[in-house]
Amino acid sequence: MLQKCSEPKLQGNNMILQTGVKYFHSNRHCINNGSMEKDHLPHFITSNLEHDAVKLVLEHFAEEGIASVTFVPASSKTGHVMVDDVIAAIRPSTCMISLMLANNETGIIQPVKEIFERVKQINTSRKSVPKILLHTDAAQAIGKIPVNVQDLGADYLTVVGHKFYGPRIGAIYVKDLGSGKEVPLYPMFYGGGQERNYRPGTENTAMIAGLGQASKLVTENIDKYNKHMQKIRDYLEERLKGEFGDGVCFNGRIGTSCRIPNTCNVSFLSVDCTGSEVLSNCKLVQASIGAACHSQNRPSPILLALDIEETVARRAIRLSVGRETTQEDIDKAVNDLKQAVKKIQNRNGGLSPQFVEY
């Protein structure tokens, strides 16, 4: 299923989440023991680390009385949700669990496979209520780590092309779509018969071909891409630590949790300003302080959700490396960040007054 729009993640995730609501109501007639009598709304489980393409949709469902939602808090000790916390949130009315595969700001990989394995065991015993559908937004992970939807055990998976050097188009995987099995998909738009009536609108053939080619390159070269990006990202963090010492904090290094290999979320503690102010004084580095869709003038909600101090979160910058980034590029970037921090320190008259706290 291809999403022919400028915001493929947004539309793909909306379609899947809306399907969860319709799936719940279409199965209410199957319930004969009254176990959902008091739970008249569909129930979704997600985390408090999700991208707005999931978070805001589910918040809207809750505000409008369309569904009830549990936002499972991530552990500050791991940077991800805990399997047992997700399982504990399940109710008879739970219709879908939606969890990102890797966080787009910290890069921390969520235990999606382990959670989905546990839920599948639970589904086998849900005789009088519908099975729980399983969705993962894999946009940030594809192209950086191996992603196998069968291995994950997902019913739905979101793909976004521009995250792995493809065109700005997306796709959603739906398990056994059209086979008459238990994983449904309901259209969100109407007005055309394209894509088996699931998604109307003339297909963008060129972008579809581009997505296919980008996917092929990832499939053939993922080990090479992964090793290169990890080597360069680690070099970046080594250089930053070497230049700034205790004046930097790496917000994605939490416990023993694994990260995707391209992401470095770092706070500059030795300067009393926001991450966006550091970037505005850079001559070469182009980065963000969080998700591109978030305001650049407030601390990242993701970092705050992980109990990272607000004074640290407001200083954060998200740096990403790519397939062709070199150590020479990193050297230039670190020197650029160094001169930006120095410029702000000179303007402010020295170190941040909060620096001694960390």
Residue type (1 letter), 206: A
Rounded (to 5) percent helix, strand, coil in the chain: 40, 15, 45
Report the alpha-carbon distance of residue 212 to residue 218 in Å, rounded: 10
Got the DSSP string for 216-235? Answer: HHHHHHHHHHHHHHHHHHHH
Measured CA to CA, the distance from residue 238 to residue 232 in angstroms comes to 10
Q: Which two tokens stand for residue 34?
A: 């009254």
Catalytic annotation, pick one of 264, 273, 282, 293:
293
DSSP SS3 for 307: coil
Give phi and psi for 93, each to the nearest 5.
Answer: -90, 0
Residue 146's Cβ-side half-sphere holds a number of Cα atoms within 13 Å equal to 10
293 is catalytic: yes
In terms of C-beta density within 10 A (0-12 exposed, 13-18 middle, 19 or more buried), how is residue 38 classed?
Answer: exposed
Q: Which of 233, 228, 277, 194 is nearest to 2 (CA)?
A: 194
Residues 6+ apart with CB under 8 A from 39: 68, 91, 92, 93
CB of 235 closer than 8 Å to CB of 77: no
Euclidean distance between CA atoms 152 and 201, whole angstroms = 31
Strands (E), the chain: 2-3, 43-47, 68-72, 94-100, 133-137, 156-160, 170-174, 248-250, 263-268, 316-320
Residues carrying an active site annotation = 293
